[in-house]
Homo-oligomer: A and B are copies of this chain.
Amino acid sequence: MQVTDKQKRANILSAAAVLFATQAFHKVLLSDVAEKAGVGKGTLYIYFKNKEDLYFSVLLDGFSSLVERIHLQLDETTQGPMENLEQTIREIVRFAFQDRHLFNVMRTLPIGMSIIRERWLEKRRELIDLILSIITQGIKAGVFYDPHPELTAGYIPGLVRSALLNGTDGIDPDVLSRHIIRFVTTALTQSGELKATL
């Protein structure tokens, strides 16, 4: 549990991510994780409490870095809601392509109860809330219209997920970003009003 070596921990996580992404939870052997990470099996238990803890740590870590990246990016450039939404979508898509493994793990099986799982759910919620705040901001500014922004906020990661899951093969990340952005912003934009403001 005490973490002494960040690098080793990272190795374990990334090895685990690959395996969890390609096999179901119950098929992933901790001996394989250890081997792939270049550590002894026992060492896993220094860094993680048990198999489930390792699994959710993979998710939590990945998600945290995504959320952080988005936060940073939004902070450094203060823009209008439209630009912020675009940036965020682009970031999520980028993440999904970059960390394919991790992204695939997310579609595996988050069911059951544990503290670490809760922490993962919180992070997830954080992302949704971030998106929600952008949309709400846009509505207040009169740029967007949406009767249920909390639903729309949830849709956005779902769109990325769907595209990758359905694997319309070898799609270009940029094409996907643009399509999702167009899709979402069009839906959020009332035609008449917006044209007027432009």
Seen from chain A, the residues whose Cβ lies within 8 Å of a Cβ on chain B are 21-27, 82, 104, 107-112, 128, 147-148, 150-152, 154-155, 157-159, 161-163, 165-166, 168, 171, 175-176, 179, 181-187, 189-192, 194-195, 197-198
B148 x A154 contact (CB < 8 A)? no
A181 to chain B, nearest CB (A): 8
List of B residues within 8 angstroms of A171 by Cβ: 151
List of B residues within 8 angstroms of A27 by Cβ: 112
> Cα distance A186–B198 when bound, in Å?
11
Given A151-B171, A182-B195, A186-B190, 4 more A-B residue pairs with CB atoms under 8 Å apart are A21-B111, A23-B111, A158-B165, A197-B198
Residue from the list B82, B109, B192, B195 in contact with A24, Cβ < 8 A: B109
A155 x B151 contact (CB < 8 A)? no
Chosen A-B contacts, 23 in total, with CB atoms closer than 8 Å, are A23-B112, A24-B25, A24-B26, A24-B110, A27-B112, A107-B110, A147-B179, A151-B163, A154-B165, A155-B162, A155-B163, A155-B183, A158-B159, A159-B159, A161-B162, A181-B195, A182-B192, A185-B198, A186-B186, A186-B187, A186-B190, A186-B194, A191-B194
A interface secondary structure, majority:
helix
Number of copies: 2
A98 to chain B, nearest CB (A): 19
A11 to chain B, nearest CB (A): 23
> Cα distance A105–B148 when bound, in Å?
27
Pick from A108, A161, A194 the residue with the most CB of B within 10 Å: A194
List of B residues within 8 angstroms of A175 by Cβ: 148
